[in-house]
Structure 1
Amino acid sequence: MRELSKLTILEILQEWNYWNREFETYVQRPAYSSILERYRRSDEIIVLTGIRRSGKSTLLKQEMEHLAKSRDKKELLYINFEDPRLSEDADPDTLDLLLETYREAINPDGEVFLFLDEVQYVDRWEKWVRTAHDLKRATIYITGSSSKLLSGEVASSISGRYLQVTVYPLRFLEFLSFNDLEYRNIADYSAKRREIHQLFSDYLRYGGFPKVVLVDEDLKKEEILSYFNTILLHDILARYGLRNYDMLKKLVEYILTNDTKQNSVHSISKALGYNYATVSDYIAYLKATYMIAEFRNYDYSLKKQLRSDVKYYCIDTGFVNAVSFLFSENIGRLYENIVYNEFIRRGQGTGLFYLNEGGKGGVECDFITQEMGRITAAYQVCYELHDRNMNREVAGIVMACKKFGLPGGTIITEHQQKTIEVDGLRIEVVPIPAFLVGYGPTTPPKERGLQYRL
Structure 2
Amino acid sequence: MLFELKYILEDWRLIRLKYVKRKEYLDFLHRHQDKKIIKIVSGVRRSGKSTLFELFKNDLLDEGIQPAQLITINFEDMDNEPYTQADKLYHYISKQLIPDKMNYVFLDEIQNVNHFEKAVNSLFLKDNVDLYLTGSNAYFLSSDIATVLSGRYVELKMLPLSFKEYVEWNRQNNNTKKNEELFDQYLESSFPYTLFIGSEKEKLEYLQGIYSTVILKDIVARLSVRDVEVLERIIQTLFSDIGSLVNVNKIKNTLVSSGYKTSNPSISNYLTGITDSLIMYPVSQYDIRGRQLLGAQKKYYAVDVGLRRLLLADHQQDFGHVIENIVFLELKRRGYEVYVGNTGKYEVDFVAIDAKQNIKYYQVSLTTLDKKTLERELRSLQAINDQYPKYLITLDQINRTANYNGIQKVNLIDWLLNS
Range class of TM-score, shorter chain: 0.7 to 0.9
Percent of aligned pairs sharing the same letter: 26
2:42–2:137 contact (8 Å) kept in structure 1 = yes
Measured in 1, the distance between the counterparts of 2:343 and 2:296 equals 12
The residue that corresponds to 1:430 in the other structure is 410
Q: Aligned residue for 1:324?
A: 312
Pairwise CA distance, 1:248: 1.1
Letter in 2 for 1:288: D
SS in 2 for 1:33: helix
Residue 82 (1) aligns with residue 76 (2): yes
Matched with 1:38 is 31
CA contact (8 A) 2:401 2:409 kept: yes
TM-score under structure 2 normalisation? 0.87
Shift of residue 242, structure 1, vs aligned partner: 1.7
| C-alpha spacing 1:377/1:27, structure 2 compared with 1 (3 Å) | closer
Shift of 1:73: 0.3
1:234-264 CA-partner distances (Å, limit 9, x unpaired): 1111122223221111110110011110111
Counterpart contact for 2:20–2:165, Cα < 8 Å: no
Cα distance change, pair 338–250 in 1 and its aligned pair in 2 (3 A): same
1:347 aligns with 2:331: no
- Structure 1 contact 173–437 (Cα < 8 Å) conserved: yes
Question: How is 1:143-158 mapped onto 2 (pairs within 5 angstroms)?
Answer: 143-158=134-149
CA deviation after TM superposition for structure 1 residue 101, in Å: 5.8
CA distance in 2, matches of 1:29, 1:228: 24
**Aligned match of 1:285:** 273
Equivalent residue number for residue 243 of structure 1: 226
Q: Residue 29 in 1 paired to residue 9 in 2?
A: no
Whether the 8 Å CA contact 1:413–1:429 is kept in 2: the answer is no
Q: Distance in 2 between matches of 1:430 and 1:397?
A: 14
1:176–1:199 contact (8 Å) kept in structure 2: yes
Match of residue 214, structure 2, among 231, 234, 250: 231
Within a 5 Å distance, the mapping from 1:287-436 to structure 2 comes to 287-299=275-287, 305-325=293-313, 329-348=317-336, 350=337, 352-358=338-344, 362-371=345-354, 376-385=359-368, 386-400=370-384, 403-406=385-388, 409-418=391-400, 420=402, 425-436=405-416
Further displaced range: 298-307 or 90-99: 298-307
User: Does the Cα contact within 8 Å between 2:75 and 2:108 map onto a contact in 1?
Assistant: yes
Could you tell me how far 1:407 is from its partner in structure 2?
6.8
Q: Aligned pair 1:207/2:193, yes or no? A: no
Q: For residues 159 and 59 of structure 1, do their structure 2 counterparts lie closer, same or farther at Cα, with a shift above 3 Å needed?
A: same
Distance 2:293 2:156 in 1: 27
**RMSD of aligned residue pairs (Cα, Å):** 2.7
Answer whether contact 2:362 2:390 (CA < 8 A) is retained: no
Change (3 A) 1:306 1:137: farther
TM norm structure 1? 0.81
* Residue in structure 2 matching 1:66, options 56, 59, 69: 59
Displacement after TM superposition at 1:332 (Å) = 0.3
User: C-alpha offsets along residues 305-346 of structure 1, whole Å, 9 cap, x if unaligned?
Assistant: 242421111111111111113757510000000000000001
Structure 1 residues 388 and 137 mapped into 2: Cα distance closer, same or farther (>3 Å)? same
Unaligned runs of 5+ in 2: 257-261
Deviation at 1:366, TM superposition (A): 1.0
SS of match in other structure, 2:383: helix
Q: CA deviation at 1:160?
A: 1.7
Q: Which residue of 2 aligns with 1:9?
A: none
Q: 2:315 & 2:396 partners in 1: Cα distance?
A: 14
Over residues 407-439 of structure 1, what are the superposed CA-to-partner deviations in whole Å (9 max), with x where a residue is unaligned?
7532323434345565xx233333211111128
1:51 aligns with 2:64: no
Partner of 1:138: 129
Q: Is the Cα contact below 8 Å between 1:411 and 1:427 reproduced in 2?
A: no
In structure 1, give the amino acid aligned to 2:29: L
Aligned counterpart, 2:89: 95
| Contact 2:162–2:190 (CA under 8 A) maintained in structure 1 | yes
- Tell me the residue number matched to 2:259: none
Contact map agreement 2:99 2:128 (CA 8 A) in 1: no
Secondary structure of the structure 1 residue equivalent to 2:293: helix
Question: CA distance change for structure 1 residues 115 and 384 in 2, over 3 Å: closer, same or farther?
Answer: same
Matches of 1:357 and 1:346 in 2, distance apart? 24
Kindly provide the CA deviation profile for residues 269-324 of structure 1, in whole angstroms up to 9, marking residues without a partner as x: 22113311111111111111111111122116889624242111111111111111
5+ residue gaps, structure 1, are: 1-17, 184-191, 440-454
Q: 1:365 to 1:97 in 2, by over 3 A?
A: same
Task: Report if aligned partners of 1:419, 1:426 keep a CA contact under 8 Å in 2.
Answer: no
Whole-Å Cα distance in 2 between the matches of residues 162 and 411 of structure 1? 36
Task: Specify the code of the residue in structure 1 equivalent to 2:410.
Answer: V
How far apart in 2 are the matches of 1:325 and 1:279?
24
The answer to whether the Cα contact below 8 Å between 1:379 and 1:412 also exists between their aligned partners in 2 is no
Distance 2:381 2:105 in 1: 50
